[in-house]
């Protein structure tokens, strides 16, 4: 590491500990790093054991315990990069203003800078409300074991700040599409593809019909997209396939569209009556819409940023979901994309901008002190 910037060295320790969602020792190691970092500070630490083979969650609490709603920060410490990525394809390194490393942008950089702000405010006792910081282990797979906890903390909060990455030059997120996931399983009738072709009922052929029907539900004008990006089926090149399956990703801009699309997808009927179709799944993350309360919170953040010396903007509704969807859907004012700036989430060219650390850390501090 050529840089002597203490933020970069400290954050690099987090990057060196690889923590893909299903690698529990790595994810729990990240929770250990956070817990040890606040050791001895006026911050209470609660650790919640992981479930279903996933990592633990960590809750930090600080500030006045007045019983009034808190301000909550939420960060996930899992990444999408398998163990070994930093040794091979994405070494932790500095190039100019760029800090590279697995998960630096999504979202260890944001989690790290928010933790520094949280510690600072806890030490100076300048928070306006009780402060809560939730670190989760499973956001990258849809938060199956932490959704309840996220919603519980969300309900007890006056505002939720999510440290997913900033985008397009530092813009934050005030609206996200809702996400649905479905599994479609088809069962036809097997037959020898040469001698008994007419007896077969191809599950793959039926899947082809269904996939085209589902993809045709995409409606850009309404902000609805459907895609089939995983599929399988068949046993051999000379057997009419008995089984096939595929998965569907759905994105919607509003709650109403989510309900409508869910019933359209779950209600699909087989094209060939001799093939059985089983569809499971539904909406996973509800849409996060820019309500008046969200817009008001954004204006507060914007004023704080102006005081720090930068112009804060929000981006148009983004297609990617986050844990912010859960809290926003409860009606809790939520700001997202408050994390580090950079580029290349989920890719091997992922990097964060070192120059974005200080101003965004100051923004989180300002929010903790004024929201």
**Strand pairing partners for 227?**
249
Q: Please say which residue, 37 or 78, places its beta carbon nearer to Zn ion.
A: 78
Window contacting Zn ion (CB under 5 A); options: 94-102, 159-167, 245-253, 292-300? 159-167
C-beta closer to Zn ion: residue 18 or 164: 164
Strand partners, 160: 72, 334
User: Is the sign of the CA dihedral 82, 84, 87, 88 positive or negative?
Assistant: negative
Residue 341 contacts Zn ion per CB under 5 A: no
19 and 79 in contact (C-beta within 8 Å)? yes
**How far apart are CB 114 and Zn ion at their closest, in Å?**
13
Question: Is residue 106 at the binding interface for Zn ion, with CB under 5 A as the rule?
Answer: yes
Select 86 or 210, whichever has its Cβ closest to Zn ion. Answer: 86
**Under 8 Å between Cβ of 323 and 136:** yes
Using DSSP bridges, classify how beta strands 243-252 and 334-335 pair: parallel, antiparallel or unpaired: unpaired
* DSSP string over 299-350: HHHHHHHHHHT----EES-BS---THHHHHHTT--EEB--S--EE-TTSTT-
Q: How far apart are CA 129 and CA 218, in angstroms?
A: 44
Cis peptide before 353 (omega within 30 of 0): no
Closest residue to Zn ion, judged by C-beta, is 106
CB of 323 to Zn ion, least distance (A): 8
Query: Of the listed pieces 109-117, 158-166, 228-236, 354-362, which binds Zn ion according to CB under 5 A?
Result: 158-166
Q: How near is the Cβ of 337 to Zn ion at its closest, in Å?
A: 10
Contact pattern for Zn ion over residues 19 through 48, marking x by CB under 5 A: ------------------------------
Part of the chain binding Zn ion (CB under 5 A), chosen from 156-164, 266-274, 290-298, 300-308: 156-164
Given the complex with Zn ion, which of 164 and 262 has the nearer CB atom? Answer: 164
Q: From residue 164 to residue 203, what is the string marking binding to Zn ion with x (rule CB under 5 A)?
A: x---------------------------------------
* Residue 357 CB, nearest approach to Zn ion (Å): 17
Conformation bin of residue 320: beta by default, left when phi > 0, alpha when psi is -120 to 50: beta
CB of 44 to Zn ion, least distance (A): 26
What is the total count of residues that contact Zn ion (CB under 5 A)?
Answer: 3
To Zn ion, the closest distance from the beta carbon of 196 in angstroms equals: 51
Within 10 angstroms of residue 264's Cβ, the number of other Cβ atoms is 14
**What dihedral angle (degrees, nearest 10) is formed by the CA atoms of 260, 266, 270, 276?**
-170
Nearer to Zn ion, 29 or 142 (CB): 142
Question: Distance of CA 97 to CAs 3, 165, 353, Å?
Answer: 10, 16, 6
Cβ at position 83, least distance to Zn ion in Å = 18
Nearer to Zn ion, 164 or 206 (CB): 164
Q: Is 107 in the site for Zn ion (CB under 5 A)?
A: yes
Which CB, 26 or 130, lies closer to Zn ion? Answer: 26
CA 143 to chain centre: 8
| Minimum CB–partner distance for residue 233 and Zn ion (Å) | 32
Cβ-based nearer residue to Zn ion, 164 or 369: 164
Q: Are 237 and 254 in contact (CB under 8 A)?
A: no
Q: To the nearest whole angstrom, how small is the minimum distance from the Cβ of residue 140 to Zn ion?
A: 7
Q: Which is nearer to Zn ion, 61 or 285 (CB)?
A: 285
Contacts of 144 (CB under 8 A, 6+ apart): 52, 54, 138
The count of C-alpha atoms lying within 13 angstroms of the C-alpha of 354, restricted to the half-sphere facing its C-beta, is 19
Residues that bind Zn ion (CB under 5 A): 106-107, 164
């Amino acid at each position: 590491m050529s840089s002597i910037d203490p933020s970069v060295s400290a954050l690099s320790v987090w990057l060196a500990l690889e923590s893909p969602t299903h690698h529990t020792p790595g994810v729990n190691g990240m929770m250990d790093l956070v817990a040890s970092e606040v050791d001895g500070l006026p911050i209470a630490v609660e650790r919640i054991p992981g479930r279903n083979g996933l990592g633990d969650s960590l809750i930090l609490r600080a500030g006045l315990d007045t019983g009034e709603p808190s301000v909550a920060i939420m960060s996930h410490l899992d990444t999408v990069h398998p163990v070994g990525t930093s040794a091979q394809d994405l070494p932790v390194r500095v190039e100019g203003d760029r800090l590279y490393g697995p998960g630096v942008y999504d979202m260890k950089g944001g989690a790290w800078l928010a933790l520094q702000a949280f510690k600072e405010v806890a030490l100076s006792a300048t928070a306006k409300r009780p402060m809560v910081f939730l670190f989760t282990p499973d956001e990258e797979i849809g938060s199956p074991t932490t959704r309840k906890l996220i919603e519980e903390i969300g309900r007890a909060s006056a505002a939720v700040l999510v440290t997913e990455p900033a985008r397009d030059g530092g813009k934050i997120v005030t609206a996200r599409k809702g996400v649905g996931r479905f599994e479609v399983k088809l069962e036809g009738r097997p037959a020898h593809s040469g001698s008994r072709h007419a007896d077969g009922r191809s599950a793959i052929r039926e899947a082809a019909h269904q996939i085209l029907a589902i993809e045709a539900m995409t409606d850009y004008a309404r902000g609805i997209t459907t895609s089939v990006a995983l599929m399988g089926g068949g046993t051999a090149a000379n057997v009419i396939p008995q089984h096939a399956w595929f998965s569907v990703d759905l994105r919607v801009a509003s709650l109403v569209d989510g309900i409508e699309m869910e019933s359209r997808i779950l209600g699909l009927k087989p094209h060939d009556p001799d093939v059985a179709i089983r569809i499971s799944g539904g909406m996973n993350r509800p849409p996060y819409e820019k309500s008046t309360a969200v817009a008001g919170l954004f204006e507060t953040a914007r004023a704080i940023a102006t005081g720090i010396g930068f112009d804060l903007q929000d981006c148009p509704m983004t297609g990617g979901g986050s844990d912010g969807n859960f809290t926003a859907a409860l009606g809790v004012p939520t700001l997202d994309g408050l994390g580090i700036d950079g580029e290349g989430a989920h890719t091997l060219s992922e990097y964060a901008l070192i120059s974005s650390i200080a101003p965004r850390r100051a923004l989180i501090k300002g929010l903790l002190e004024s929201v």
